[in-house]
Amino acid sequence: MRFDVLTLFPEMWEPFLRCGVTRRAYESRSVDVRLWNPRDFAEGPYRRIDDRPFGGGPGMVMLAEPLYLCLERVRADRTDSAPVVLFSPAGDVLRHAEVARWAHSRGAILLCGRYEGIDQRFIDRFVDVQVSLGDFVLSGGELAAMALIDAVARLQPGVLGDENSHAQDSFNPAVDGLLDCPHFTRPERWREACVPAVLLSGHHEQIAVWRRQQRLLLTHSRRPELIEAARAAGRLSAGDERYLQGLG
């Protein structure tokens, strides 16, 4: 899988691609990331990539032409018809289902906006999908693009230390789509707070039941709509339903 990232700040990507899970995915080439700076395709001594908005108002707008030239170069380099993804507050909010789809794709061309955004004519002509990280405004699309690549990377075979890790993660519909249970580690007693006794019991069945109930309890209190979705998809057992009834 390959992501081509159009970014005015390629230096932001160095630490991202050199740390943890994303480093493993990048270095093993299971997630190839190539960086392209639209400024390299801008003209003039100052290589200008933005200008004032027509109609007045604050801020600057990214020029269409350097983005177009940059995109053409990327297209020539990758030869497939990968979709162009723009990160934008106007996009569809990123959720696990989309991440899972991207994880099984051949990748995409990711466009990171800056300033007030990008000339709409470029968006209308070349952008296939718009993705938002949530209802807030970032200074640029880079963090959103990194969020997508990070989430996709951890779903690639061989990237996580333990292949079962993402099976128990929150939102995984292949399991139940619920929130993950709480986790504890050493020491057994930390500043008067103890680990739940069942986790120290060595009784695997009881531990599995406790974890299942904790997933249900947490999801019921924090994200009840995920319980409804799991129920509608037939992912709750009779035992789950009995436990949920007890919660009221």
Residue 187, preceding peptide bond in cis (omega within 30° of 0): yes
**Nearest approach, Cβ of residue 164 and ligand SAM (Å):** 31
Helix %, strand %, coil % of the chain (to 5): 45, 15, 40
- Using the rule CB under 6 A, give the single segment among 9-17, 81-89, 159-167, 172-180 that binds ligand SAM: 81-89
Which strand (E) or helix (H) includes residue 157? none
Is the separation of the CB atoms in 246 and 220 below 8 Å?
Answer: no
Q: What minimum distance in Å lies between the beta carbon of 113 and ligand SAM?
A: 2
196 preceded by cis ω (within 30°)?
A: no
Q: Does 136 bind ligand SAM (CB under 6 A)?
A: yes
The type of residue at 146 is M
**Is residue 2 helix, strand or coil?**
strand
Q: How far apart are CA 218 and CA 53, in angstroms?
A: 47
Q: Can you tell me which of 141, 149, 152, 215 binds ligand SAM, judged by CB under 6 A? A: 141
CB of 17 to ligand SAM, least distance (A): 20
Is residue 126 a contact point for ligand SAM (CB under 6 A)? no
Among 22, 37, 132, 219, binds ligand SAM (CB under 6 A): 132
Is residue 87 at the binding interface for ligand SAM, with CB under 6 A as the rule? yes
* Binder among 23, 140, 209, 212 for ligand SAM (CB under 6 A): 140
Indicate if 116 belongs to the active site.
Answer: yes
Q: Is 154 a catalytic residue?
A: yes
Euclidean distance between CA atoms 96 and 107, whole angstroms: 16
Q: What backbone phi and psi angles, to 5 degrees, belong to 245? A: -60, -40
- Which residue is nearest to ligand SAM, using beta carbons? 113
User: Among the options 10, 53, 83, 89, which is catalytic?
Assistant: 89
User: Concatenated DSSP letters for 151-209?
Assistant: HHHTTSTTTSSSTTHHHHSTT-TTTTS-PPPP---S-SEETTEEPPGGGGS--HHHHHH
Smallest CA-to-CA distance from 60 within 140, 123, 1 is with 140
Cβ closer to ligand SAM: 119 or 176? 119
137 contacts ligand SAM (rule: CB under 6 A) = yes
116 binds ligand SAM (CB under 6 A): yes
66 binds ligand SAM (CB under 6 A): no
Query: Catalytic one among 169, 180, 223, 235?
Result: 169
Residue whose CB is less far from ligand SAM, 113 or 177: 113
Could you tell me which residues are beta bridge partners of residue 221?
Answer: none
Note the residues at the interface with ligand SAM (CB under 6 A).
Answer: 87-89, 112-114, 116-117, 132-134, 136-141, 144
